[in-house]
Structure 1
């Protein structure tokens, strides 16, 4: 990385669009200058510049199985639980080399479409099931190496996964690779912390109320260094809500809030099935709702209560989760369109200050994603990481566009990728729509995929 400047004829700043904006960054990849109305020179110039998006929920290895579960079962009873069978087979056999290859492909996919940072919800600990033991953190380190190679920012979240169901049910044979406890997760956090820098952070993630006890979650939250992010799956499936009610008499989010002081450190992923009181409690807590619309649609999870959550001042961000998609445009479009279909009206994601849906969605997801990542991201502002996207001003979708129209066109006009160039931490990683290592990474990915599919 090296210091640099970019003159944006139009830049999306926290307060909205501004003209002739000089953006400067230092050799550590941190923005030092944002000067509106600049009339001088810069190292480069672009027409439309927006902050890079944060992908707040990822299981990188699942990139390799995207699209492979789209055949109906003979019973016709296809849901999250039937999808999970193939996921277990991939999880049990993927090697460290294969994971690194798959993660690198995913990260280039994400960068090309406008994600400049990822939060990796990582539960592939140790070795392939049935083989010799490996260091628990080796797989996480390989994901970190893939992120370094591709130039994407990363928040690694080693997962606490101690049981298979409510009440401490024993892990099944396909879940042995996920096995961890509070001490082993903290050991992984400690080991990975030597890698922390401007591009890499380490938090932790109790998997869910199904996979860890509330006492274990509380112990992990207390022991994790201050300020580090905590993520958890919550209320993704109605079956999970029903099981939690049967076990404890409480719904998952209510049970979590009753036991632990949930605050801004937390990201509650999915939160699909909340009642009215839970929705208000989540908004009031300051925690982020981690929404993954393409995966939630792919798995038939359901729809988040977005309008009341926004009305209550709730914070949200987006993730691509199982990587049925890897574009922030797709996630935000699914998020808005799902709400429109459910409510049978248009323009759902707005508030009293911002009535343009595209601008509201992008800015809100930036704020929530930055908070969930535990990194200084999400805005073209001094002190934040120099992560930005240059949109393709020559594309017909943006022809003769006014600034007030650009985000609507970007998110809701057609399926062409309008991201031309991507800067991450002060380094240009995508230029003209391509990554310098794109062909080599794709070759390694194809080889890894061929190996993984041999015995499926």
Structure 2
């Protein structure tokens, strides 16, 4: 066992002093003891909080940030952004993907994410030809996660079509395509070396038969295998789904698939009240990616009806225009304030901390979506821990849950000092041990891409 004593820790919904923590060799907390006094083992100054799971990432898009921020000849929207993304994909090599993913994951760790669900659909060479090893690109993601120490749930994506009703894919989608048999082999191969889930890309990219084939693959991997899908992100997607099926995307999914707690519905931005009620009752997690949804002009998730229905949510970085959980959660609260024209809209009761509610819900939902025993500081959970510097200008002078409110709602410099993933320190004093190497590889990739684009 490795023993620690946290000066302060967020345990059982309260900030508690002198919390003893014992971590076993496999990275799980075996005991959490508030009021342990000085105890034995390393003392951890500051506030220890649960690490957050990043439940939706497309790592390669970290290198795209800023490339789609020029006005087009007509109105700009998600669909025009997607064309920029397709052009960008033509230049990416496997080595580029590994360098970009490592940079992203190191940044996520420094900001307080301890694990990531990588929604991985970049399978093939630029001309659409499968690599000699069909898992080549996935192995690059695995290597980046190993190099940085972030917890990884790898989500190989099944992508077959260019639109509802099995519309043929376009040239820009050829790097994503994989048939069902190849997809099943890929999932089986990766499951031997990584925590994985299955990810039918969207209802527009798979047919109902292909969706159920993907679910059969998930079942073969284990009943708890995560299932993630993009859904109802764009109003046009809702209209196209209605034209195809006579039902809205979430309405169709609830009627035709066994949606339940292992599911994560990414975005679900445009959902009706009945859909919200039905989806919340299923126990599925809504995967909210506020900075990307804002960047793309997707719309605003109906958070308050979702919470009223006891819906679960987690947060993700998606296109990685931001790598900070603080920014995702601020946007989540602030968009609701703007639409409702009032403050503290996600507080659960008078006097309750907004940050405590957002953080605990997002930590729990993220852990569920990643299929990871984390999300809280408790015996039996993974020791995914974030240490906040209580002397940081954003936090100094605060106490109790006011520390959490100050973390989420003040300043732009991060008070994250140390980060532990599954019992191993991966960030110390705000730095990753491989920062220099990771940054140099990323810089080389970015310069090469700039010359190629």
TM-score range, shorter chain: over 0.9
Partner of 1:309: 306
Give the whole-Å Cα distance in 1 for the aligned partners of 2:191 and 2:351.
39
- 8 A Cα contact 2:232 2:270, kept in partner: yes
Q: Which moved more, 1:343-352 or 1:144-153?
A: 343-352
Q: 1:147 to 1:208 in 2, by over 3 A?
A: same
What per-residue deviation string (whole Å, max 9, x for no partner) do you get for residues 180-217 of structure 1?
23322221111011213xxxx11110000110012211
Partner of 2:330: 333
Partner of 1:425: 422
Q: Which moved more, 1:7-16 or 1:441-450?
A: 7-16
- How big is the shift at 1:352? 4.8
- How big is the shift at 1:18? 1.9
What per-residue deviation string (whole Å, max 9, x for no partner) do you get for residues 9-58 of structure 1?
22112433222111111121111110111022322322211011100000
Give the whole-Å Cα distance in 1 for the aligned partners of 2:312 and 2:10.
20
SS of corresponding position for 1:454 = helix
1:208 aligns with 2:207: no
1:382 aligns with 2:379: yes
What per-residue deviation string (whole Å, max 9, x for no partner) do you get for residues 268-320 of structure 1?
00000001111111111100000000000000000000001001100000000
Aligned with 1:173 (options 171, 174, 189): 171
- 8 A Cα contact 2:20 2:32, kept in partner: yes
Q: 1:442 to 1:220 in 2, by over 3 A?
A: same
SS of corresponding position for 1:44 = strand
Aligned with 1:217 (options 203, 211, 214): 211
Q: Which moved more, 1:96-105 or 1:217-226?
A: 217-226
Give the whole-Å Cα distance in 1 for the aligned partners of 2:104 and 2:403.
27
Give the whole-Å Cα distance in 2 for the aligned partners of 1:302 and 1:218.
29
- 8 A Cα contact 1:93 1:129, kept in partner: no
Give the whole-Å Cα distance in 2 for the aligned partners of 1:12 and 1:294.
26
- 8 A Cα contact 2:123 2:130, kept in partner: no
Which 5+ residue runs of structure 2 have no aligned equivalent?
A: none
- 8 A Cα contact 1:7 1:22, kept in partner: yes
Aligned with 2:94 (options 86, 92, 96): 96
Displacement over 6 Å in runs of 4+: none
- 8 A Cα contact 1:14 1:363, kept in partner: no
- How big is the shift at 1:128? 2.8
- How big is the shift at 1:401? 1.1
Q: TM-score, normalised by structure 1?
A: 0.96
Partner of 2:229: 232
- 8 A Cα contact 2:60 2:100, kept in partner: yes
- How big is the shift at 1:455? 2.9
- How big is the shift at 1:353? 9.4
| Aligned residue-pair number | 449
What per-residue deviation string (whole Å, max 9, x for no partner) do you get for residues 319-342 of structure 1?
000000000000000110011101
SS of corresponding position for 1:37 = coil
- How big is the shift at 1:261? 1.4
SS of corresponding position for 2:73 = coil
Partner of 2:50: 51
Give the whole-Å Cα distance in 1 for the aligned partners of 2:365 and 2:350.
17
Aligned with 1:136 (options 125, 128, 134): 134
Partner of 1:274: 271
Superposition CA RMSD, Å: 1.4
Q: Which moved more, 1:290-299 or 1:255-264?
A: 255-264
Partner of 2:345: 348
SS of corresponding position for 1:390 = strand
- 8 A Cα contact 2:128 2:174, kept in partner: no
- 8 A Cα contact 2:128 2:177, kept in partner: no
Partner of 2:450: 453
- 8 A Cα contact 2:112 2:419, kept in partner: yes
Give the whole-Å Cα distance in 2 for the aligned partners of 1:451 and 1:354.
53
- 8 A Cα contact 1:270 1:290, kept in partner: yes
- How big is the shift at 1:130? 5.8
Give the whole-Å Cα distance in 2 for the aligned partners of 1:435 and 1:142.
19
Give the whole-Å Cα distance in 2 for the aligned partners of 1:227 and 1:255.
23
Q: Which moved more, 1:233-242 or 1:444-453?
A: 444-453
Q: TM-score, normalised by structure 2?
A: 0.97
